[in-house]
């Protein structure tokens, strides 16, 4: 078996641990194959050959950095042969994919089932690193959620401010329109009052003119009557007969 993900674990004894894990997996798979061949046909039989093939595919994919593909292959190998070392490999794939919660889960399972495996120290270090990364990941996620919450609140406040500005603008417009209407009404009232005053002044002037005309006519009549009376008196005093009725222009003066 080559390309076992245990090689990815750094630190003292990392390469030795990788070699031990690969050797252990090979030994276990071979032993499992022998046991499967000796098993009773009536009982469930593990597909060790399928497990070995899937393990080889997973190791090759892991070396290429195709961690999703490696994860699927190691999972298939574990379903065919439940070896604890495969749990560690599965944890390694999750770690490389950034799924630190899942990596932590599989490292813990490996430590619980591996017994005195030479990879226990490596797995413990990877578990601690995964837990640290998970805590950081959770903090980042919490910070992102908080940022989203603040952004949402800011958006709500922005919308509220925009609605308030719109309401103020509407009120100002309504006040402007009301003031314009009030000014128009005041102008109309003043115009009506001015027109009424003009009409009243005109009526007063007409009345005064009529009184003046009638008064002048009356005064003229009185003047004419007075002149006629004086003329008659004068004529009587001079011995002239009274003039005939008519206007002054028809009086026929005699004598001289």
* pLDDT reading at 17 higher than 80: no
> Cα–Cα distance between 70 and 93 in angstroms, integer?
7
pTM above 0.75, yes or no: no
**Of 153 and 8, more confident:** 153
The confidence score (pLDDT) of residue 252 equals 55
SS3 per residue for 181-203: HHHHHHHHHHHHHHHHHHHHHHH
What's the chain's average pLDDT?
A: 80
More confident residue, 115 or 62: 62
**H helices within the chain, ranges in order?**
14-38, 48-63, 67-80, 84-96, 100-113, 120-237
Angle at 189 between CA 186 and CA 194, to 5 degrees: 125
Cα torsion angle, 16, 17, 22, 27, sign? positive
Of residues 98 and 28, the one with the higher pLDDT is 98
What's residue 26's pLDDT?
Answer: 56
Average pLDDT over residues 108-136: 94
Q: Does residue 180 carry a pLDDT above 70?
A: yes
Q: Distance of CA 43 to CAs 37, 38, 221, Å?
A: 12, 11, 157
Q: Taking Cα atoms as reference points, which of 3, 8, 4 lies closest to residue 130? A: 8
How high is the pLDDT of residue 71? 98
Residue 25 neighbours by CB under 8 Å, 6+ apart: 1, 4, 55, 83, 85, 86
pLDDT band at 144 (very low <50, low <70, confident <90, very high): very high
What separation in angstroms does the CA of 124 have from each of 3, 116, 117?
A: 21, 13, 12
Residue 216 predicted with pLDDT over 50: yes
Question: How far apart are the C-alpha atoms of 174 and 191, rounded to whole Å?
Answer: 25
Q: Is the pLDDT of residue 132 over 50?
A: yes
For residue 106, pLDDT beyond 60: yes
Say whether pLDDT at 138 is over 80: yes
Q: Which domains does the chain have, with CATH numbers?
A: 5-140 (1.25.40.10)
Q: How far apart are CA 2 and CA 55, in angstroms?
A: 10
Buried b (16+ CB within 10 A) or exposed e, 163-176: eeeeeeeeeeeeee
């Amino acid at each position: 078996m080559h390309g076992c993900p245990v090689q990815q674990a750094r630190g003292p004894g990392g390469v030795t641990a990788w070699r031990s894990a690969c050797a252990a997996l090979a030994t276990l798979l071979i032993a499992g194959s022998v046991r499967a061949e000796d098993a009773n046909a009536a009982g469930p039989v593990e597909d060790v050959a399928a497990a070995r093939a899937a393990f080889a595919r997973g190791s090759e994919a892991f070396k290429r950095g195709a961690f999703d593909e490696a994860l699927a292959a190691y999972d298939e190998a574990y379903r065919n042969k439940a070896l604890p070392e495969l749990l560690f490999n599965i944890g390694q794939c999750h770690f490389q994919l950034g799924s630190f919660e899942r990596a932590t889960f599989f490292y813990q399972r490996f430590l619980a089932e591996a017994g005195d495996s030479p990879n226990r120290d490596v797995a413990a270090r990877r578990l601690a690193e995964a837990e640290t990364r998970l805590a950081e990941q959770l903090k980042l996620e919490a910070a992102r959620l908080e940022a989203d919450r603040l952004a949402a609140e800011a958006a709500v406040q922005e919308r509220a401010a925009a609605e308030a500005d719109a309401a103020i603008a509407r009120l100002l417009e309504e006040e402007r329109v009301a003031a314009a209407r009030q000014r128009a009404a005041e102008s109309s009232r003043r115009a009506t009052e001015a027109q009424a005053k003009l009409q009243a002044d005109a009526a007063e002037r007409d009345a005064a003119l009529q009184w003046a005309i009638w008064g002048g006519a009356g005064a003229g009549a009185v003047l004419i009557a007075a002149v006629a009376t004086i003329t008659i008196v004068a004529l009587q005093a001079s011995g002239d007969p009274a003039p005939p009725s008519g206007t002054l222009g028809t009086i026929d003066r005699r004598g001289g």
